[in-house]
Amino acid sequence: MLIHALDVLLAARNGNLDVVGATNNIASKVQGYAQDQLEDLALKYALASDTFEELRDALSNAVASAEALRIQLQTEVELVKRSKGDGAERKPFDMAAFQERFKDEIDGVSGKLTKEFSALRLGGPGEVKTTGCVQAVSKVLGWVEDGFINSVIGLWGLPEDTSRQHFRPLRTHLERIFVIICRFFLFLQWRTKLMLL
């Protein structure tokens, strides 16, 4: 754009150019460039606004689901303790102990998580593929679910099938959250890639 403007000025100085026509031409190019930038910004803002609204909704559902899970776990632990009798060697429901045990289980997942998400690739021009996001998120949440199950069984001896059943609603909300985030970052990468072409 700047080089074009300099060429026009040099041609005008030498008397080889209609200054009014050249000025209109430059103004038209600047206006087109500004319009492209505004459209790009509006698209990014609209996507970001919609994404953040969707994410806020998903987070709200996940928090409610996590609280319901805590209540279900507490109820299950109490039922197991009662069914085994007072002399049973079962630990009482202790969320801090669960969080510590679960943290230990999840620490091993962090490296796998980075590997899964760094392997995601962008689609072709005009295409943002989210199937890779969905697959990566599902795989990682499978590891998280296994860590959850190992923690619940290890601490309280709850049945695996019941524990998985209780975890599923939270997993659904977590999947939605991570796919939203993944999809948004893939879109931004794609837009950046196009801008650099």
Secondary structure (DSSP) of 86-101: TT---PPP-HHHHHHH
Give, to the nearest 10 degrees, the angle between helix 109-118 and helix 131-156: 170
pLDDT grade, residue 93 (50/70/90)? Answer: confident
Question: What is residue 170's predicted lDDT score, i.e. its pLDDT?
Answer: 92
Identify whether the C-beta of residue 191 lies closer than 8 Å to the C-beta of residue 44: yes
Q: Residue ranges per domain, the chain? A: 45-196
Degrees to nearest 5, angle at CA 73 with 65 and 105:
85
144-173: pLDDT as tens digits = 899 899 888 888 888 899 999 999 999 999
Classify residue 167 as exposed, middle or buried by CB count within 10 Å of its CB (0-12, 13-18, 19+): buried
Residue 135 in tokens: 């697959």
Q: What percent of the chain has pLDDT over 70?
A: 65
Give the whole-angstrom CA distance, residue 167 versus residue 149. 9
Residue 88 in tokens: 């049973």
Does the pLDDT at position 48 exceed 60?
yes
